[in-house]
Chains A and B, each alone.
Chain A
Amino acid sequence: MSDSKYFATTKKGEIHEFKEDLRSLDRSKKKEAVKKVIAAMTVGKDVSMLFPDVVNCMQTDDLELKKLVYLYLINYAKTQPDLAIMGVNTFVKDSQDPNPLIRALAVRTMGCIRVDKITEYLCDPLQRCLKDDDPYVRKTAAVCVAKLYDINSELVEDRGFLDILKDLLADSNPMVVANAVAALSEIHEVSGKDVFQITSNSLFKLLRALNECTEWGQVFILDSLAAYQAKDSKDAESIVERVSPRLQHANCAVVLSAVKVIMKQLDLIQDDALVRQLQKKMAPPLVTLLSAEPEIQYVALRNINLIVQKAPQILSHEVKVFFCKYNDPIYVKMEKLEIMIRLASDKNIDQVLLEFKEYATEVDVDFVRRAVRAIGRCAVSIEKAAERCINVLLELIQTKVNYVVQEAIIVIKDIFRRYPNRYESIIATLCENLDTLDEPEAKASMIWIIGEYAERIDNADELLEQFLETFPEETALVQLQLVTAAVKLFLKKPTEKPQQMIQLVLTYATQETDNPDLRDRAYIYWRLLSTDPDAAKEVVLAEKPVIMDNTTSLEPSLLTLLLGQLGNLASVYHKPPEAFVTRSRMAVQRAEDLAPASFEEEGPISAGASEAMPGPVAGPEVQSHQPDLLGDLLDVGEPTPPAPVAPTPTPPQPTARPPAPPTSNGNLQELLGGLDINAGAPPPAPVAPQQAGQADPFGSPAVRQDQAGGSSLRQLLTADRGKGLSIFGTVARVGGQPVYQLRFQNETAQPLDGFMIQFNKNTFGLAPANQAVNVGVIGPRSSGSASVPLVQNPAMVSPAQAPPTLQVAIRNNQLGVAYFNDSLPLPAILVEDGKIEGSVFVGSWKSLPEANEVTQQLPINIGSLESVRARLAAANLFVMAHKQVAQTNEEVLYITGKAATVDTPTQLLLEVRYSKAIPGIKAFTKSTRPDLAPFVFEALPALLT
């Protein structure tokens, strides 16, 4: 007899038939009908209309039938909340049944039904069951508290269930303890409240239960122990001693959770010999995880990746176990490869290289590419092995397999970067394969090599010329490299041919292309070359910092966090839980606890898995992947670290850059600051700044200074509020950069010094470049002025609020800290090149959604058009057009400007309608950031009257 027959009924009218059978008095017929209903439910048919009939079958002695009805209830109660109440009586009765299995079944099921009326009736049975004599009932009730918390947390707190749960931690039955731990851990995590704190007292109980409870219970307990912060080395040692036997458990989850607890305590243990012994002890269990199912292997490998980042010595002798088996699934192979690279050292590199070489001949193209990259990464990270790696790469190039050759060239470029002037003899071999290159990245790498070593390649000009023939068709990546390589060639061999070449390239890149990056780079080179070729040489041919292969390493704080998450999804994705868990109930302060920048960098979560897989991009290539204007210009190509905190090599320029802005573009100013840029050959063209916060290098500072200098300072702090110090100031824009102009009036009888300034987060993300305010000592009853340069820092951005205010704190050594509010004038962040074409204005206005339009009436009268134009222009707002509307006798001004908002600049579009006859104006503004509208309206009165 098989159940599969229940799935066979697909005839019409079956619902009616079910109904009749359910009402039948024949018990077996009734049961058959319920089974059919459940089968229909399983395959996704809607059988909710049978609700009353099914619930009628609930009252039965047949446990099997009862369970089926309960299952039906769990699925459909929500759709029929009023009818669900019919079941309550049976539930309550069952919860007092003499059979513990039925008592447990009743609370278990009630907890799964999310209907308020049922939940009300759950509390009393739950209270009884938590104190039931039977451990099976208690363990079920413990989990039920977590269910109830999920439905209605207040009920749990009001009824004191949390305290009962805590009491269960001392229960005599280990499974009850384990489930209580699971429930408390969950409530602790979900609520963000401190409901479950392991103390040294409860710790002892948990460790005792650990030895006796089921394998799953052991995981619950170990996972909760991972959150425990040991007091001292001794405390940690005793935990590890009790936990380490778990490493021998057959259950992989127990083993990994035990590893998690031990890894956490290891940091605290001071006895080095013990630490080494424990590390040695962890290796075999970790390796054993690799003999389980491939899916388990995958989770294990992702975790081992984290563990060896922290402590490579644990598995340093085990590299062989990570060799790929021919039949391993591809996702396992890729992870193994990653760990092999991490464990490679000059001791085992020969073996590892043989493996990589073997993999490079396999059929899976992705895997082959990854293997070739692996060789390159080993060369970059293990100096002693570099030569051997290169030899293997050369052998692979000889195979002439197209994608192998291209991949090899890409990694050889990195090796050149890492070890300059050492292996250039192989360039000739590379050049033999020029014709086979068809992938942009490989081409770009080869071009980089030609440009970089132009002086050693006799026919470098011919080689480059070959590539230049197809310049217009190439991808941006290749074009950018071609421009740079042509410049390098010209600087190194300033003969006729390269000169022609560079003319050609730069002309094309500045005139024919649509790509702003390419155009900008070409312009900068052009100006650099025509102004001062020697300076150009110093910039373009500057010595490059050494690269490292650290792109796939995680930032230390993230790594620590993830090691505390071993086994959990976070450890599989290599992302903090907040990045993929969306839970509105999560307390806000918890979200803020994490480093804000660490994750924003990593892209959208939908790419989760692919992000988490260490991408095929080894570090050094990042340069060519994300053309960063400055980086490429200098040809520094810093390997962009995955997270901002990782150490980056500093560019070799003498730097005195403001410390605050995290954008590397700060350097651009310095780089170009000393040059008279407007003298350059091509006319200044509109240049789109790459990023907010970057000052426009082509502006003419002198003019701006005067205009901005004219703005008057407002009193921000009166002497009586400021303990005798009054402060005047305003945020203005000077020399294409926001500054805070300040004047201090010392009314006290003592000299004041040590002035420091700080801002609160604000809409524009403005922050002082330097905390120290350069006013020196201000004598008694005298005053001093300062102009504090401001920078925009993404970390300082807060959502727009109205009215737009800037909270400022200023301290000095004598009077302490003074706080005050200032306004946040929009013109401070309006950039000089905000002018756009009329057609662009119209196009953008139309393309922006209606919802982005904000309107306000302002009680002002427009002054003369000429002076308005001038004042607007001084504030970097540009009048696009002025027209008269004949019918309404209205005049309209179309105005635009570009605000340097953090991340991407915002083009502001503004329409001002006014009529001579009626006082007041009507202003409409539209942009991608409607939240900026209040700032616009705030700024208008001063500019338009």
Chain B
Amino acid sequence: MACACSALYFLNLKGDILIQRTYRDDVERNLAPAFRSHILHTKGNDSVANLTPVRVLGSCSFLYMRQSDVYILAVVKSNSNAMLAFQFMVQTVNVFKSYFGGEFSEQSLKSNFVLIYELLDEILDFGYPQVADSSILKQYIFQKGFVTEATKLKREQEAANSTLQVTGAVGWRKDSIRYKKNEVFLDIIETVNMLMSNKGSVLRCDVNGKVVMKVFLSGMPDVKLGLNDKLEDVTFHQCVNLGKFNTEKVVSFVPPDGEFELMKYRCQDNIVLPFRILPIINEIGRTRLEVNVTAKSSFDSKLFALNVVISVPMPDNTAQAEIQTTQGKAKYDPKKHALVWKLKRFVGQSEHAMAATVELIATTREKKPWARPPIGMQFQVPMFSASGLRVQYLKVWEKSNYKVEKWVRKVSKSGDYSTRI
């Protein structure tokens, strides 16, 4: 059945209850001790079965995930929809973040527990997710503080009137929105994941992109977005008319007010890799490493990358390193066991190198071979899209026919961008 949970817990890292709400009577009231002793405390146990996020304990299933310093735990008795439960947890966290100014932590949960109980009463009913979208919830569940009795009364009146809309087909937007200046911001944010072998061949490479919009438009606007690529693998915000996309390949929607994620996409083919890393690491005897790392940028020379960090893992018994670079600063970070090379700005079509001599502490015992974790890389390349996605048009239509200012930006960021050594 499509029920997400019988009870929902928010626990801190020690396993103490921060918030708990029971939705069904088929589970015991307090299962936090079970979670603590069977899940938290078996983490050290190396059996994989003890680490999975879905577990049977007694007659219940425990589904849990960690977000910052909080565990979210859903307990169910029936054969419920696990995907629904996890997706719901993820979105609940987003709702809370949106209410708490972007923060989700033990502290923010404690500081807002009254509001949270109110939200928990609204977003789940008998374990069935109802609404987990902050733009909808904020129409009738308010942040507390600063309200005078008069505004409060007015709000409650509005809230009472909002029910039609909340449950309706365009639940995410009310039609009374007015702006003096009508503006739309569209950001294409791409995360590039890559895994390259030490010989330079690409083992895996994909781009996870999302289109984030900030919409300040009056009335009930219809927006159409045209993109150059015929996107195969794409998912949309619930405001997008999926039927229309399927038949006409046009992204057509009535946007929510303010910021939201319009779409996510993923592509694997025809990706322009912004960087390549060429590592040469030689173990000289048992106490020395020679490291040469070259980084090449392959995007347009008019563009540049910002905040580039290249992290070259070293064995645990590293003593010290002598490093030279053609640009940027590099040093050995003993906490991460890695040579960390930072370049504030990396121009397109250029090449930089780092050379290091690393001394290792001789160990007496037979040491395990060094696991050689991959070299990691972080970067941001503004105005570059690794997938090659372009916005061809962005049309806004509203019955009052106002003028709209449109802004389109893009940026490519590193995801898991690693090179094996």
Contact = CB atoms under 8 A, between A and B. Distances in A.
Interface of A: 1-4, 6-7, 35, 38-39, 42-44, 63-64, 67-68, 70-71, 74-75, 98-101, 104-105, 108, 111-112, 114, 134-137, 139-140, 143-144, 146-147, 150, 173-176, 179, 182, 185-186, 189, 211-212, 214-216, 219-220, 223-224, 244-246, 248-253, 255-257, 284-285, 287-288, 291-296, 298-300, 303, 320-321, 323, 325-327, 329-331, 334, 351, 354-355, 358, 361-363, 365-366, 399, 401, 565, 567-573, 577, 580-583, 605-610, 613
A187 to B, nearest CB: 10
Contacts of A299: 54, 82-83, 86
Nearest to A140: B125
A291 B208 contact: yes
A668 B65 CA distance: 52
Contact of B53 (A105, A256, A298, A363): A298
Given A174-B169, A287-B233, A44 B203 contact: no
A1 B130 CA distance: 30
B303 interface: no
A361 B53 CA distance: 26
B56 A568 contact: no
Interface stretch (B109-117, B382-390, B403-411): B109-117
A256 B83 CA distance: 8
Nearest to B47: A610
Contacts, number: 305
A interface, over-half SS: helix
Contact of A605 (B48, B56, B193): B56
B195 A284 contact: no
Nearest to A134: B163
Contacts of A111: 126
Nearest to B58: A606
Interface in B180-210: 193, 195, 197, 203-204, 206, 208
Contact of A580 (B79, B110, B234): B79
B304 interface: no
Contacts of B204: 320-321, 323
B132 A139 contact: no
A3 B49 contact: no
Contacts of A295: 53-54, 63-65, 86, 89
B373 interface: yes
B263 interface: yes
A214 B238 contact: yes
B2 A219 contact: yes
Contact of B61 (A67, A140, A287, A569): A569
A609 B64 CA distance: 14
Contacts of A212: 169
22 contacts: A4-B107, A35-B114, A42-B18, A182-B2, A212-B169, A224-B2, A244-B246, A250-B235, A252-B83, A284-B232, A287-B233, A291-B264, A295-B86, A326-B416, A327-B416, A329-B51, A331-B51, A568-B82, A569-B54, A569-B82, A577-B78, A613-B48
Interface string B13-30: 000111110111100001
A295 B145 CA distance: 36
B296 interface: no
B54 A216 contact: no
Contacts of A42: 17-20, 113
Contacts of B130: 139, 175, 179, 214, 216
B126 A146 contact: yes
A67 B76 CA distance: 25
Contacts of B117: 38, 67-68, 71
Contact of B164 (A134, A186, A323, A572): A134
A331 B87 CA distance: 18
Contacts of B233: 284-285, 287-288
Contacts of A38: 113-114, 117
A608 B246 contact: no
B2 A185 contact: yes
Interface in B254-298: 261, 263-264, 266, 268
Contact of A248 (B17, B80, B246, B372): B246
B265 to A, nearest CB: 8
Given A44-B30, A101-B140, A250-B264, A39 B235 contact: no
Interface string B31-68: 00000000000000011110111111001010111000
Contacts of A67: 117-118, 121
B236 A249 contact: yes
A157 B115 CA distance: 37
B167 A135 contact: yes
A223 B125 contact: no
B90 interface: yes
Query: Across chains A and B, which 8 residue pairs bring their CB atoms closest together, nearest first?
Result: A284-B233, A610-B49, A136-B163, A608-B56, A577-B79, A245-B242, A2-B111, A216-B129
Contact of A251 (B18, B25, B87): B87
B337 interface: no
B420 interface: yes
Contact of B266 (A75, A179, A291): A291
Given A150-B25, A399-B369, A253 B84 contact: yes
A276 B290 CA distance: 53
Contact of A567 (B77, B84, B129): B84
A584 B161 CA distance: 43
B113 A296 contact: no
A214 B128 CA distance: 12
Contacts of A220: 2, 128
A218 to B, nearest CB: 9
A568 B83 CA distance: 7
Given A4-B110, A42-B20, A609 B55 contact: yes
A571 B83 CA distance: 10
B313 to A, nearest CB: 10
Contact of B118 (A64, A147, A253, A303): A64
Nearest to B168: A173
A255 B167 contact: no
Contacts of A4: 107, 110-111, 113
Nearest to B171: A214
A210 to B, nearest CB: 10
A216 B83 CA distance: 11
A100 B162 CA distance: 10
A38 B239 CA distance: 37
Contacts of B23: 112
Contacts of B19: 42
B266 A284 contact: yes
Contacts of A146: 126
A362 B371 contact: yes
A175 B25 contact: no
A609 B3 contact: no
A246 B84 contact: no
B53 A331 contact: yes
A189 B418 contact: no
Contacts of B232: 284
Contacts of A174: 167-169
Interface string B70-81: 000000111111
Contacts of A570: 79
A685 to B, nearest CB: 40
B121 to A, nearest CB: 6
Contacts of B51: 329-331
A74 B29 CA distance: 12
Contacts of A114: 25
B236 A567 contact: no
A139 B171 CA distance: 14
A161 B121 CA distance: 24
B108 to A, nearest CB: 9
Nearest to B110: A4
B246 A100 contact: no
A861 to B, nearest CB: 53
A570 B54 CA distance: 11
A101 B163 contact: yes
Interface in B344-379: 368-369, 371-374
Please indicate which of the listed interface residues A1, A252, A253 has the most CB atoms of chain B within 10 Å of its own CB.
A253
